[in-house]
C-alpha cells in the first residue's frame, strides 16, 4: 500500500471514540515547528519509559526530517482523535539494512488517559510496520509494556545492546545488562 493510500484509509469514524486521523510526516512533508514541539512534549509527557530528555526526542525527529546532515530520514506518524493528539510513532531509517534492521522505532507513545491503551498501541504499531519498507527493530527497556505487543506482532529478541556512555565514562557490564534485559 502506498503512503498516500495509507493516510486516506485512516480517516475513520470509530463510534464513541470519535474521528480518528493518522498523519504521516517525512523530510518532504514535515510538520510545522509548533507541531514538532507538540510532538516532543507529547512523547516526553506520555512515555511509559523513564522520561527521556526533550533534546534527545527532538534529535530523533530531526533525523526523520533530515535536519541533521548525516540523517537518512524516516517517518513520523501521529494519531489524533477529534483533533486531539493521542499517539506518536517515530520510525528512523538506519541505512544499515542487511546488517541491522532497515528502520528502528525510536518512539511509540500513546496518551496515558486512554483506558484501552493496548488497542491504540497495537494500532500504531501495525500502521508503523505497514509504512516501513524493510525490517524494523524497536528500542525497549526491560520492563516496557511494549514488549508483549511487539512479541505478539512478530518481533524477536535478537541482540543484547550494550552501551558505553562517553559523556560519563560509565560502563554497564555484560552481566549487569544481561540481568536487566531478562
pLDDT > 90 in the chain, percent = 42
pTM flag (> 0.95): no
State pLDDT tens for residues 105-129.
999 998 988 756 678 888 889 999 9
Look up the CATH architecture of domain 3-139: 3-Layer(aba) Sandwich (3.40)
Average pLDDT value for the chain = 80
Task: Tell whether the model's pLDDT for residue 22 goes beyond 70.
Answer: yes
Contact present, 50 and 89 (Cβ < 8 Å): no
Cβ density class 134-145: b for 16+ within 10 Å, e for less: eebbbebeeeee
Tell me how far CA of residue 118 lies from CA of 76, 123, 150, in angstroms.
20, 8, 11
Q: What is the pLDDT of residue 133?
A: 87
Binned at pLDDT 50, 70 and 90, residue 38 comes out as: very high
Half-sphere exposure of 126 toward its Cβ, with a 13 Å CA cutoff? 10
- Residue linked to cell 546532515: 69
Q: Is the pLDDT of residue 13 over 50?
A: no
Q: Which residue has the higher pLDDT, 179 or 148?
A: 148
Would you say residue 91 has pLDDT above 60?
yes
> What are the boundaries of each domain within the chain?
3-139
Over residues 18-23, the mean pLDDT reads 84
Amino acid at each position: 500500500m502506498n503512503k498516500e493510500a495509507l493516510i486516506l484509509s485512516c480517516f475513520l469514524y470509530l463510534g464513541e471514540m470519535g474521528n480518528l486521523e493518522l498523519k504521516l510526516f517525512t523530510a518532504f512533508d514535515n510538520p510545522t515547528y509548533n507541531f514538532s514541539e507538540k510532538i516532543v512534549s507529547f512523547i516526553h509527557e506520555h512515555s511509559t519509559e523513564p522520561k527521556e530528555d526533550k533534546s534527545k526526542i527532538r534529535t530523533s525527529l530531526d533525523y526523520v526530517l533530515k535536519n541533521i546532515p548525516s540523517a537518512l530520514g524516516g517517518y513520523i506518524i501521529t494519531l489524533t482523535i477529534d483533533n486531539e493528539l493521542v499517539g506518536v510513532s517515530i520510525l528512523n531509517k538506519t541505512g544499515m539494512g542487511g546488517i541491522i534492521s532497515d528502520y528502528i522505532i525510536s518512539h511509540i507513545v500513546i496518551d496515558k488517559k486512554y483506558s484501552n491503551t493496548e488497542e491504540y498501541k497495537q494500532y500504531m504499531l501495525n500502521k508503523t510496520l505497514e509504512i516501513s519498507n524493510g525490517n524494523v527493530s524497536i528500542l525497549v527497556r526491560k520492563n516496557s509494556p511494549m514488549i508483549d505487543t511487539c512479541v505478539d506482532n512478530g518481533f524477536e529478541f535478537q541482540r543484547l545492546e550494550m552501551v558505553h556512555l562517553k559523556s560519563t565514562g560509565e560502563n554497564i557490564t555484560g552481566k549487569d545488562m544481561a540481568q536487566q534485559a531478562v
